[in-house]
Amino acid sequence: MGYTKDQLLARLQELKIDFTCYDHPVVLTVEEQAKHVGDLGGALSKNLLLKDKKHRLYVISALAGTKVDMKILSQRLGLGKGGLRMAPEENLLEVLQVPLGCVTPFALINESASAVSLLLDQGFKSKQICYFHPLTNDVTIALSSSNLDKFLISIGKQPAYVDLEAAPAVGKDNPPDLAHLVPSGVPNSSEQPVENTALTIVPHHQNNVPKETEVKAKPKVQSKGAETSSKADKPTTNTSVDKFVNDVFDIISPLFLSETLKKLDIKKEELSSILDDVRGRADPDLKSIAMTLKNASYTNGFHAGFKTMLHRGLDG
């Protein structure tokens, strides 16, 4: 069930996001939109829905004047030279749940669009006001890019601003710089990235290949939460101590609860509450020893790597 324009506007108000609303006849192009709101001093946006060969979708939202070269964008995303196409109409209606001519960042509020990647023109940041359609094309809303960010963060999306006109070389020594914006293919969960396959703390750098030829380039600025940098098939190790301690409790708690309830005559809620207390009290010590283990493992790996390099050089 797609959101309606009114539902979206109500949500913006709830989030205390400042915006202005302009009604006008239905418009299908930026030129037509400009006739109605072009003279008001804000920046018009053009919005494209693109699709790659693996049927992953991207909304590219740019200033109307920005030149978007799909070939270059495709390479920067790590999709090869001809990897991006305009998405067919069905995707607009089924995934974004907006009518034709109405691609907009706001469509990401819909659950169906959770796997869509959003690329925003860096140029928006320098404009005071930007214009977008709010799920219908008989309305334009005007707001600042920081307010747009506020909205995106509220739906669990990390705003990704990109210099869309940049054309960096992509090759063996320069991995695609936008590869981290390719959707992972799994519906968006705003928590940590893909689970580790075994509950071991592995020093992170053991997984790193020293040469930067991997398409899965580690982004320079890792966004917190939503957009994951992993592709669905590649396992990742998680070295978070927090997560480890929680995983340990998640194993012990249900086991302890079920075994104890079998043997003792005690209410489940009472036992759960005791267990929560214990969890709270054990937490600092458990985190401390887990961190020690992590640091010690890293240390061993680090020294092993150092000695390897010393004896054999970079190529091992």
Per CB under 8 A, residues contacting other proteins are 146, 149-150, 153, 158-160, 204-205, 208, 218, 220-224, 239, 241-242, 284-285, 287-289, 291-292, 294-296, 298-300, 302-303
CB-side exposure of 166: number of CA atoms within 13 Å? 14
Q: Measured between alpha carbons, how far is 316 from 309 in angstroms, rounded to an integer?
A: 7
Tell me how far, at minimum, the Cβ of 243 lies from other proteins, in Å: 12
Tell me how far, at minimum, the Cβ of 29 lies from other proteins, in Å: 31
Q: Measured between alpha carbons, how far is 152 from 248 in angstroms, rounded to an integer?
A: 33
For 58, the 3-state DSSP assignment is: strand
Closest CB to other proteins among residues 40, 296: 296
Tell me how far, at minimum, the Cβ of 103 lies from other proteins, in Å: 22
Closest CB to other proteins among residues 7, 223: 223
Closest CB to other proteins among residues 69, 285: 285
Q: Measured between alpha carbons, how far is 37 from 95 in angstroms, rounded to an integer?
A: 28
Residue 236 structure tokens: 């990742």
Closest CB to other proteins among residues 99, 156: 156
Question: Can you say whether residue 289 is alpha, beta or left, with left for phi > 0 and alpha for psi between -120 and 50 degrees?
Answer: alpha
Tell me which residue has tokens 């307010």: 147
Contacts of 209 (CB under 8 A, 6+ apart): none
Closest CB to other proteins among residues 20, 292: 292
Tell me how far, at minimum, the Cβ of 144 lies from other proteins, in Å: 11
Are residues 245 and 289 in contact, defined by beta-carbon separation less than 8 angstroms? no
Tell me how far, at minimum, the Cβ of 25 lies from other proteins, in Å: 35
